[in-house]
Amino acid sequence: MTDLFSPLRIGRLDLPNRILMSAMTRTRATPDNVPTELMAEYFAQRAGAGLIVTDCTAVSPQGRGVIRGPGIWRDDQIAGWRRVTDRVHAAGGRIFCQIWHCGRVAHPDMRDGEIPVAPSAIPAKGDFFLPSGRVDFPVPRELGIEELSGIVADFAQATRNARAAEFDGVELHGANGYLHDQFLQDGSNKRTDAYGGSAENRVRLMVETTRAMIDAWDAAHCGVRLSPSSYLYGVDDSDKRATFGAVIDQLNALGIAYLTLLEPNAKDAEKGVQIDHVAETFRSRVTVPLIVNTGFDKAKGDAAIVEGKADAVAFGVPYIANPDLVERLRRDAPLNKPDPSTFYGEGAKGYTDYPALTEAQPA
C-alpha cells in the first residue's frame, strides 16, 4: 500500500518518503540577506525529509519583504546557500530553493525608503513587523507593464543562481498573498492591460515566470506553490475555482516537477473560504505530482495519499520542533512541542536546539 513512507519520484529526484518539509520563514539570515552556518545546521538536521523547501528567498532587492530573510541575487548569497546544500546533501537529503517576490507585503523602512510594488495601488491588509514595532502597510506603487519582464528575468537569474548553489531545484512562491498571488486574484489586481481583467490575463505573470525558470534550468527542476483558499494580507478573488483552475491548467501544460496546494488554515476558515477542500477540488485537474500542505498529521496525511487526493504531504510547524519528524511518525513517537515565540528571530534557540529522538527514548 502506498502511504507516507513510500518512495516517490518528483522531476528527476527519487524521494525516499512522501513526508516533505514545507517552506517556512524563520528570519535567521544576516541583516543583508546572506544564508548562515546556523541555517546550514538547521536544514541538515531535517535531511530525513523526502524533500526540503527553503524559506522564501528574495530574487532581488525589490523583492525583499522579510527582515533577515535570505536572498539569492548576489554572489555571497549563492556561496551561503552552497554551504547549506553541501550540508544537506552530506546528510543524505534533497533541497529546493523557494524563490519569491513580496510585492506589496513590505515596508519602506526596511528597504532604504523604497516603496513596495504591486499589480495595483492597493495596500495589503494587516500590519508589518519592524524592529520598532508593528506598522500599517503603505499604499504600493503600481508596476508599469514595461517593468514586468525585468521581474520575470530576476526569477530566471535566481533559478540559475540556485543551480550554481547546487540546489536540487526551485519552487516559485505563487501563494500567500505575495506578488504572483496578487497578480492572480482580482481583489488585488485591478489592471486593465494584458496582466489584468480576465483570468487568462491575471495568470500571465505566473506562467511567464514559470516558463522563464524552466528555460533557465528545465521543467523537472521547477515546482510551484499556490494557496487557493488563503486570505493572507487581504488577497481574494471573486471566483477562486475558475481562477485557480485556469492557472493549474497552464502549469500542467508546462510539465513542472510538482504543484503544492495549501489547504485553508483556521484563520482562513474564520473568514469563510470559497474552497473548503482544495486537494479534492483540484485533484482531477492536476496532472503533475500533487503536494498538499496545512493542518496535516500522520493519519490525515496517510489518508490523503491512500485515497489518491495527493502524492505527498508537506509539513510545516511539526518540522520546526521535530528535526527527525519522519522517524517520529514512523515509530508513532511523541512530538516535541514548538515554541511560537521563537518561530521568528535570531540565534539557535527554537531553531537548532530541538532534540532528536534517540533509541533510549520510548516510542
Q: Which domains does the chain have, with CATH numbers?
A: 8-342 (3.20.20.70)
Structure-block grid coordinates of residue 59: 530574487
Tell me, what's the pLDDT at 131? 84
Residues tagged active-site: 178
Tell me, what's the pLDDT at 269? 58
Tell me, what's the pLDDT at 271? 65
How far is it, in rounded angstroms, from Cα 165 to Cα 97?
10
Tell me, what's the pLDDT at 363? 46
Burial of 259 (0-12, 13-18, 19+ CB in 10 A): buried
Tell me, what's the pLDDT at 207? 98
Tell me, what's the pLDDT at 247? 97
Task: Quick: pLDDT tens for 258-271.
Answer: 999 999 876 665 66
Instruction: Give Cα 170 distance to the centre of its chain.
Output: 10
Strand ranges, E, within 67-176: 95-100, 117-118, 127-130, 133-136, 141-142, 169-173
The neighbour count for residue 333, using CB atoms within 10 Å, is: 16
Which residues of the chain fall below pLDDT 50? 359-360, 362-363
Give this prediction's pTM: 0.95
Cβ neighbours of residue 354 closer than 8 Å, sequence gap 6 or more = 320, 321, 322, 323, 336
Tell me, what's the pLDDT at 329? 97
